[in-house]
Structure 1
C-alpha cells in the first residue's frame, strides 16, 4: 500500500480524546491531526516522539491531517488502523498469504451473523466460503506482538460470529496484521483482555483459524513482509 501523498514529519505533542493529536511541524507551527486508532496505543503516544502525518484529501474531513506512523526505538510503527484491510487485500492479490490463495472472488464488508460485517469474504465454487476477519496489531512487549491493547467487546463478538460460521460449514480465518517489523512472534494479551483471550481459545479450538503477518514499514508505504508464529 503506497501513501497517496508524501508524509510530513512532525513531533508528537499529545494524544487526547482518543482520536486527536497535537503535533509540531519542523517550521514550529502546531497542527491537530486525526488519530484513526481506537485502542490504548500502549507505548505509542509518548510526547516528543518523531511521527509522520499525511494531508487529508477528503473534502468532508474536519481536520487537515491524519496520523500515520511513529518511530519507536529506530523502528517505524503504523498506527492508522483504517489501512489494515487494504494492506491485507493487496497481499492477497499478490498471493503473499499462502493460506488464503485459490479463491476466485473477493467481497468486502459483507453482512453476516447478527448485525456484523466481515472484512473479506473469499469465494470459489469448488470450496466452502472463507470468512476473513482482519485485526490491526501495534502493541509490542519484549519481542512479541500482542492483541488487543485494550478491552474489546467488539472483538469478542467477532470471534463468536466466526465460530458460528465454522459450525455452519464455512471456513473462518482471523488474520492479524502487525504494522511493524520488530516482532518475532504474536500472542493474545490475556492480561489486558481475559475475555478476548478466552474467546480466542474457544474459537480456535472449534475450527477458527488464526494467522499473523508482519509488515515492511516505510514513509512511502506499507506492505506485508512474512508470517510470524502465534504463541499459544
Structure 2
C-alpha cells in the first residue's frame, strides 16, 4: 500500500476526543488532524515525536488530514490507521505473501456469519477445500520488547474468537490474523494483563483448531505492506 500523494509530517502535540490530534508543522503552525484509531493507542503516543499524515481533496471533510504513522523515540514506525489492516491483509493474500492462505480462488469481504450477528473480515473459498474464515486484528502495542493484543479490554475481540471456534465446529477453516503495524514488534501474544478473558478464549480457540498467524509490516514514509511472518505466543 503506497501513500499517494506523499505523506507530510509534523510533531505530535496531543491526541484527544479519540478522533483528533493536534500537531505542529515545521513552520511552527499548528493543525488538527483526524485520528483513525478508536482504541487506547497504548504505547503509541509520543508527544514531540514525528507523525506522518495524509491529505484528502474532499472539500466536505471537516478535517482534511488523517494521521497515518507515528515515529517511536527509538526510530521505529507505527501504523496508526487501524482501518488499513484489512486492506493490508487483502493485498498480502493476493500477492502470495501469506503462504498459509494461498490456493483459494474466491475472495470476499465483510460477509455475515456466526451465531452473534458478526461479519467476517475475509472469507476465502475454493471448490476443493473448506471455506476459510479470517478475522484480522491490528497489533501495535509493544511492552518490554513483546507485542500484545488487545491494548484494552475487547468484548468484540472475544466475540470474534467464539465465532471462529464455531466455524471450526461446523467443519470450516478459521484463522485469526494479526497484522503487526509496528516495526519493532517481532512476536505477538495475547495481553492477559489487559484482557484476561481474551487470553483465555485464545487458548481455547487454538485447542479447538483455530489457526493464529501474525505478519509484520515493513513501513516507510511512502509505503506500508505486510512482509514477513512473526511468532505468536498463546
Q: TM-score, normalised by structure 1?
A: 0.97
Q: Offset at 1:171? A: 0.5
Deviations 1:170-226 (A, max 9, x none): 100000011122222111110011111111111111111100011110011101121
Corresponding position of 2:16: 16
Q: Offset at 1:142? A: 2.3
Q: Offset at 1:58? A: 4.2
Q: Offset at 1:59? A: 4.6
Q: Offset at 1:70? A: 0.8
Q: Does 1:148 align with 2:150?
A: yes
1-side partners of 2:214 and 2:176: how far apart?
Answer: 8
Please, which runs of 5 or more residues in structure 2 have no aligned partner? none
Deviations 1:108-138 (A, max 9, x none): 1111123211111000010110001000010
The correspondence for 2:125, drawn from 90, 103, 123, is 123
Q: Does 1:134 align with 2:136?
A: yes
2-side partners of 1:201 and 1:34: how far apart?
Answer: 36
Corresponding position of 2:202: 200
The correspondence for 1:224, drawn from 205, 223, 226, is 226
Q: Offset at 1:39? A: 1.6
2-side partners of 1:47 and 1:231: how far apart?
Answer: 31
Corresponding position of 1:98: 99
**Aligned CA distance change for structure 1 residues 202 and 49 (closer, same or farther; 3 Å):** same
| Corresponding residue SS for 1:3 | coil
Corresponding position of 1:87: 88
Q: Does 1:176 align with 2:168?
A: no
2-side partners of 1:57 and 1:92: how far apart?
Answer: 30
| Corresponding residue SS for 2:83 | helix
1-side partners of 2:136 and 2:57: how far apart?
Answer: 25
Corresponding position of 2:44: 44
User: What value does the CA root-mean-square deviation take over the aligned residues?
Assistant: 1.1
| Corresponding residue SS for 1:80 | coil
Corresponding position of 1:31: 31
